[in-house]
Amino acid sequence: MLELSNVTKNFGGLCVLKRVSFTLGEGEFVGLIGPNGSGKTTLFNIIAGSLHPDGGKVTFSGRDITGFPPNKICRLGIARTFQIPRPIKTMSVVENVMLGIFFGRKNSTDASRSSREVRQEAFEYLNLTGLQVDEWTMPHELTAAALRRLELARALATKPQLLLVDEFMSGLNASEVLEASAILKRIRREKKITIIWIEHVMESLMNLVERVIVLNYGELIAEGKPAEISKDKRVIEVYLGEDL
CATH fold group of domain 1-77+160-244: Rossmann fold (3.40.50)
Say what the pTM is: 0.92
Q: Which residues make beta-bridge pairs with 4?
A: 22, 58
pLDDT for the residue numbered 114 = 77
pLDDT for the residue numbered 238 = 80
Three-state DSSP state, 185? helix
Q: CA-to-CA distance for 60 and 58, rounded, in angstroms?
A: 7
Q: For the segment 104-150, what is each residue's pLDDT rounded down to a tens digit? A: 887 765 555 778 889 999 999 999 999 999 999 999 999 989 999 99
Phi, psi of 56 (to 5 degrees): 90, -175
Residue-level length of the chain: 244
Q: Is the dihedral of CA 8, 12, 13, 16 positive or negative?
A: negative
Q: CA-to-CA distance for 196 and 203, rounded, in angstroms?
A: 16
Q: Which residues make beta-bridge pairs with 10?
A: 15
pLDDT for the residue numbered 3 = 97
Report, as ranges of residue numbers, the positions in the chain whose pLDDT lies below 70. 108-112, 239-244
**Which DSSP state fits 242?**
S
Q: With helix as H, strand as E and coil as C, how does 103-143 read?
A: HCCCCCCCCCCCHHHHHHHHHHHHHHCCCCCCCCCCHHHCC
Domain ranges of the chain: 1-77+160-244, 84-159
Tell me which residue of 94, 41, 105, 97 sits closest to 71, measured CA to CA.
Answer: 105
